[in-house]
């Protein structure tokens, strides 16, 4: 009897270890993905700035630092995407909950250098969804710009984009989404970017998608 209980304990212990390692592996993939995207975008920001090239050539340190700080601020949305995605996965109890889900990460239009970041979670076959919204605002008391977080949509139509990606990922419907931006080379509308973390039919993945918003 004691041996039987020991076997059960051993099996349960191994199962818990496997689940924990799986969860850590998924979080590691998410970290690598967003940090890589952030690094690429930061480099593109500097490489496409002709003024920055002039500053570097003439060793204008203040101008160099300012431009680099601006490019870091422009790409701060990746930090929000990473933190928000991990937060949503934790809320799902990712190790034990096997339901399919979609997490969408995108930026919103803004007058500020640091664009608002919007992360949306929708569990399959549920009418409701969750939102984390990060944005920049000027704090009069502190006399500086601060980053705020709420659960509002910032005027964005979340239902439309969630329906669009659900149709595409769950049912392979629609032609307004692609992994390749070249698929929209003939479009009069500029494609937008959305970073997707999802589990579809039990398969977990992270991908960058381009989509057309024709409204």
**What does the pLDDT read at residue 4?**
52
**What does the pLDDT read at residue 99?**
87
Task: Note whether residue 186 is domain-resident.
Answer: yes
For 9, 44, 169, 203, 207, the CA distances from 199, given in Å and listed in that order, are 30, 31, 10, 5, 12
SS3 178: strand
Q: What are the backbone angles phi and psi of residue 63, rounded to the nearest 5°? A: -70, -35
Task: Note whether residue 21 is domain-resident.
Answer: yes
CA atoms within 13 A on the CB side of 39: 6
Show the domain range for 96: 2-42+76-211
Task: Note whether residue 184 is domain-resident.
Answer: yes
Average pLDDT score over the chain: 85
Tell me the pLDDT band of 96, cut-offs 50, 70 and 90. low
Does 61 score more than 60 pLDDT?
A: yes
Task: Note whether residue 51 is domain-resident.
Answer: no
Task: Note whether residue 67 is domain-resident.
Answer: no
Task: Note whether residue 54 is domain-resident.
Answer: no
Task: Note whether residue 53 is domain-resident.
Answer: no
Does 13 score more than 60 pLDDT?
A: no
Task: Note whether residue 55 is domain-resident.
Answer: no
Closest CA to 92 of 17, 195, 199: 199
Number of folded domains in the chain? 1
Structural Rg of the chain based on CA atoms: 21
SS3 108: coil
């Amino acid at each position: 009897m004691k041996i039987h209980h020991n076997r059960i304990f051993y099996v349960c212990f191994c199962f818990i270890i496997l689940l924990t390692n799986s969860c850590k592996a998924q979080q590691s993939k998410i970290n690598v993905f967003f940090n890589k995207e952030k690094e690429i975008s930061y480099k593109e920001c500097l490489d496409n700035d002709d003024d920055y090239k002039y500053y570097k050539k003439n060793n204008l340190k203040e101008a160099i630092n300012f431009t680099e700080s601006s490019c870091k601020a422009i790409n701060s949305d990746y930090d929000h995407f990473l933190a928000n995605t991990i937060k949503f996965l934790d809320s799902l109890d990712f190790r034990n909950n096997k339901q399919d889900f979609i997490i969408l990460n995108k930026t919103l239009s803004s007058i500020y250098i640091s664009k608002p970041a919007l992360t949306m979670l929708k569990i399959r076959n549920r009418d409701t969804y969750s939102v984390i919204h990060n944005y920049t605002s000027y704090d009069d008391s502190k006399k500086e710009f601060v980053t705020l977080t709420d659960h509002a949509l910032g005027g964005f139509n979340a239902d439309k984009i969630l329906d669009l990606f659900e149709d595409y990922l769950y049912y392979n419907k629609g032609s307004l989404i692609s992994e390749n931006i070249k698929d929209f080379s003939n479009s009069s509308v500029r494609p937008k970017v959305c970073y997707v973390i999802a589990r579809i039919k039990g398969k977990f993945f992270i991908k960058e998608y381009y989509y057309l918003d024709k409204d």
